[in-house]
């Protein structure tokens, strides 16, 4: 709601302008001739003379029609705190028209119209639905609208954002696990180990972690870090370093690195930790969220199960 000052200000500007236009038309019409003439106003512009004829009647009527239209528009759509007489249906109720309510009404109408399409796919399991081209295309559109900003339009991710086209899954790549990830989100947390390991310990652990995936490393430093890994890291990544999908701990024995596998990148991870977050999309997707999640999960599942 607008304050009193702004309400009065808007009313004076809006209504005053329209009324002023009407007064101007009346005032100027009184001094005009009623019939056409050949007399001039005395003005001469490079040989072009201005004849003192009245405005065409259709032109004057057009001015008045514009003023009436303006008043009718204000009465229908409102101005300031006055809501107008037009209403739209939002959440099953008739409410006064506003740009926001109009948008909500159109979105809800579209959601209601498209709901049967989503319902048609919801009854089919994800593993079967990946063979339905129309379902995959719908899932792809949902992905590009909601997920591509992080995972990329090709779903191959980037540093800190998982590649969804391979077989490496932090929280599991089965349909139910993907649905849970999309629905509720995920919160990854890799603690900082600099204070615990110290500079020398971090350097040793970098070499040990690189040794797990067969990357170039110094064997002596890696061997020195092995007991520290079992003591500090195995609880999440496992004694063999192959990770744990229940905790979202990555497999350190493959060639896939969420935050990079170079010595510097691993050192950064060990020293300062990482905090990755996948937002919950249950509320983000709005109406028909469960059906949309089902289609999104189908598309994501299809990327690594061609």
Task: Show the 3-state SS of the chain.
Answer: CCCHHHHHHHHHHHHHHHHHHHHHHHHHHHCCCCCCCCCEEEEEECCEEEECCCCCHHHHHHHHHHHHHHHHHHHHHCECCECCCCEEEECCEEEECCHHHHHHHHHHHHHHHHHHHHHHHHCCCHHHHCCCHHHHHHHHHHHHHHCHHHHCCCCCCECCECCCCCCCCCCCCCHHHHHHHHHHCEECCECCCHHHHHHHHHHHHHHHHHHHCCCCCCHHHHHHHHHHHHHHCHHHHCCCCCCECCCCECCCCCCCCCCCCCHHHHHHHHHHCECCEECCCCCCCCCCHHHHHHHHHHHHHHHCCC
The answer to the question of residue 90 being in a domain is no
Which domain range does residue 13 map to? 4-36+49-77
**Whether 198 and 270 share a structural domain:** yes
**Whether 164 and 295 share a structural domain:** yes
Quickly state the pLDDT bin for 49 (edges 50, 70, 90): confident
Greatest alpha-carbon span in the chain: 110
- Count CB-CB contacts under 10 A for residue 174: 15
**Whether 255 and 297 share a structural domain:** no
CB 237 within 8 A of CB 243: yes
Question: For 99-106, what is the mean pLDDT?
Answer: 92
**Whether 182 and 231 share a structural domain:** no
Could you give the angle at the alpha carbon of 70 between the alpha carbons of 69 and 73, nearest 5°?
A: 85
Alpha carbon distance 260, 268 (integer Å): 10
Say whether pLDDT at 4 is over 90. no
Quickly state the pLDDT bin for 39 (edges 50, 70, 90): confident
Q: How many domains are contained in the chain?
A: 3
Phi and psi at 82, nearest 5°, equal -80, 125
Phi and psi at 255, nearest 5°, equal -105, 15
Alpha carbon distance 125, 132 (integer Å): 11
**What pLDDT, in 10s, does the model give residues 182-206?**
999 999 999 999 999 999 999 999 9
The answer to the question of residue 182 being in a domain is yes
What pLDDT is attached to residue 2? 74
- Count CB-CB contacts under 10 A for residue 234: 15
Mean pLDDT across the chain, nearest whole number? 92
**Whether 155 and 292 share a structural domain:** yes
Q: What is the CATH number of the domain that holds 214?
A: 1.10.760.10
The answer to the question of residue 98 being in a domain is no
pLDDT above 70 covers what percent of the chain?
Answer: 100
The answer to the question of residue 97 being in a domain is no
What pLDDT is attached to residue 54? 79
**Whether 32 and 170 share a structural domain:** no
**Whether 263 and 241 share a structural domain:** yes
The answer to the question of residue 150 being in a domain is yes
Question: For 289-296, what is the mean pLDDT?
Answer: 96
Say whether pLDDT at 236 is over 90. yes
**Whether 22 and 160 share a structural domain:** no
Say whether pLDDT at 38 is over 80. no
- Count CB-CB contacts under 10 A for residue 165: 17
Quickly state the pLDDT bin for 57 (edges 50, 70, 90): confident
**What pLDDT, in 10s, does the model give residues 202-223?**
999 999 999 999 999 999 999 9
Alpha carbon distance 271, 275 (integer Å): 13
The answer to the question of residue 20 being in a domain is yes
Question: For 92-103, what is the mean pLDDT?
Answer: 91
Say whether pLDDT at 128 is over 90. yes
**Whether 150 and 119 share a structural domain:** yes
The answer to the question of residue 82 being in a domain is no
**Whether 156 and 212 share a structural domain:** no
Question: For 166-173, what is the mean pLDDT?
Answer: 94
**Whether 138 and 286 share a structural domain:** yes
**Whether 271 and 287 share a structural domain:** no
What pLDDT is attached to residue 161? 95
Say whether pLDDT at 52 is over 80. no
What pLDDT is attached to residue 178? 97
The residues, ordered by sequence, that sit 6+ positions from 229 with a Cβ below 8 Å of its Cβ are 205, 208, 209, 241
The answer to the question of residue 43 being in a domain is no
């Amino acid at each position: 709601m607008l304050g009193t000052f702004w309400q009065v200000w808007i009313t004076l500007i809006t209504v005053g302008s329209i009324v002023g236009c009407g007064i101007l038309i009346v005032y100027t019409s009184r001094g005009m001739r009623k019939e056409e003439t050949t007399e001039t106003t005395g003005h001469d512009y490079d040989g072009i003379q201005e004849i003192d004829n009245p405005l065409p009647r259709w032109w004057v009527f057009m001015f008045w029609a514009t003023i009436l239209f303006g008043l009718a528009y204000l009465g229908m759509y409102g101005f300031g705190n006055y809501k107008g007489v037009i209403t739209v249906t939002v959440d099953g109720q008739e409410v006064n028209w506003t740009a926001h309510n109009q948008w909500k009404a159109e979105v809800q109408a579209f959601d209601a119209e498209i709901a049967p399409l989503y319902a048609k796919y919801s009854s089919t399991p994800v593993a079967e639905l990946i063979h339905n081209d129309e379902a995959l295309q719908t899932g792809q559109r949902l992905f590009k609208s909601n997920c591509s900003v992080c995972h990329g339009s090709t779903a191959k991710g980037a540093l800190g954002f998982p590649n969804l086209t391979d077989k490496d899954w932090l929280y599991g790549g089965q349909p139910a696990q993907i649905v849970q990830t999309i629905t509720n989100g995920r919160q990854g947390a890799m603690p900082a180990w600099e204070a615990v390991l110290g500079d020398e310990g971090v350097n040793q652990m970098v070499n040990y972690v690189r040794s797990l995936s067969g990357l170039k490393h110094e064997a002596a430093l890696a061997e020195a870090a092995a007991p520290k890994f079992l003591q500090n890291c195995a609880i999440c990544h496992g004694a063999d370093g192959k990770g744990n999908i229940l905790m979202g701990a990555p497999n350190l024995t493959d060639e896939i690195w969420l935050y990079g596998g170079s010595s510097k990148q691993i050192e950064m991870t060990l020293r300062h930790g990482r905090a990755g977050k996948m937002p919950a999309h249950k509320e983000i997707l709005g109406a028909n969220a469960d059906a949309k999640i089902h289609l999104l999960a189908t598309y994501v599942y299809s990327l690594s199960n061609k």
